[in-house]
Every structure is written in structure tokens, then in C-alpha cells.
């Protein structure tokens, strides 16, 4: 079982560079021991307006309820300003192309933030009442 090395995320995320399909991403993740904290950096790159509902249903069946709650909660908090993401940061190395964030990743952030604003997801966001 592989682990994400938080001291070298660039190397840890390398196998996910250019992966734009959730099933392919999950297949790679089968070899890893991961947390929702790592997953939140991967899911946007495979999410589009067209596949979001299907992907989120699939993801909710694949990961634990608590992990999916983390995804919902943090998707609602995504900062949409691209400048907020450092293109030199190892955590984004897998989605930086020629010094800019991959458009798939940027679209995924926007789609997920919008998708999870629907109140039907409130039960997954157990911290929203505390904000």
C-alpha cells in the first residue's frame, strides 16, 4: 500500500497528473492509503458539469460517509479565485501545466462548489451550522 508523502506531494501526486476520469482516478487510488485531505485535491480534476452528479454518487459509494462529508464541506468552502492557488505548491503540482492551473481542475472546483450549495447536501455538512 502506497502512502502520500506530505513532505513530497509533488512526487506523491505525479501518478494523477492528466487523469480526468473518476474511475481511472479511483483505480489508481486503490493502491494508496489516503485521507479525504488528499482526495479533495484530486476530485476537481475529474469533475465537470456533465459528470458531476454521477461522479458524486459514485464517490459517495466508494468512500466512507465521513470522507464524503469532508468533500461536501470543503467543496462549499473552495476559493474560486485562481490566484489563491500557488502554482509552485507541491499540493497542486499534478494540475499545473506551463505554470498555470489545469482548466479541468479550475472547472471542477467551480462545478463542485455550485453542485454542493444545494440544501440537499446540508446533512453532509455537519459544520455549516457552526459557521
Distance, CA of 129 to CA of 101 (rounded, Å): 32
Q: Helix, strand, coil % (nearest 5) of the chain?
A: 60, 5, 35
List the chain pLDDT tens, one digit each, 131 residues.
Answer: 999 999 999 999 999 999 999 999 999 999 999 999 999 999 999 999 999 999 999 999 999 999 999 999 999 887 645 555 565 678 888 888 888 889 999 999 999 999 999 999 998 886 655 54
Please report the beta strands in the chain, taking only residues with DSSP state E, as ranges in sequence order. 2-3, 32-33, 96-97, 100-101
DSSP classification of residue 25: H
Every domain of the chain and the residues it spans: 14-130
pLDDT for 131 equals 46
pTM of the entire structure?
0.87
Strand, helix or coil at 31?
Answer: coil
Distance, CA of 76 to CA of 66 (rounded, Å): 15
Amino acid at each position: 500500500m502506497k502512502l502520500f508523502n506530505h513532505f513530497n506531494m509533488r512526487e506523491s501526486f505525479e501518478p494523477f497528473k492528466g487523469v480526468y476520469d473518476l474511475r481511472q482516478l479511483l483505480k489508481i487510488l486503490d493502491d494508496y492509503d489516503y485521507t479525504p485531505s488528499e482526495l479533495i485535491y484530486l476530485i476537481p480534476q475529474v469533475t465537470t458539469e456533465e459528470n458531476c452528479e454521477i461522479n458524486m454518487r459514485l464517490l459517495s459509494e466508494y468512500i466512507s460517509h465521513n470522507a464524503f462529508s469532508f468533500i461536501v464541506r470543503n467543496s462549499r468552502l473552495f476559493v474560486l479565485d485562481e490566484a489563491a492557488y500557488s502554482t509552485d505548491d507541491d499540493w497542486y503540482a499534478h494540475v499545473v501545466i506551463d505554470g498555470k492551473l489545469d482548466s479541468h481542475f479550475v472547472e471542477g472546483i467551480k462545478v463542485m462548489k455550485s453542485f454542493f450549495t444545494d440544501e440537499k447536501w446540508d446533512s453532509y455538512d455537519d459544520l455549516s451550522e457552526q459557521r
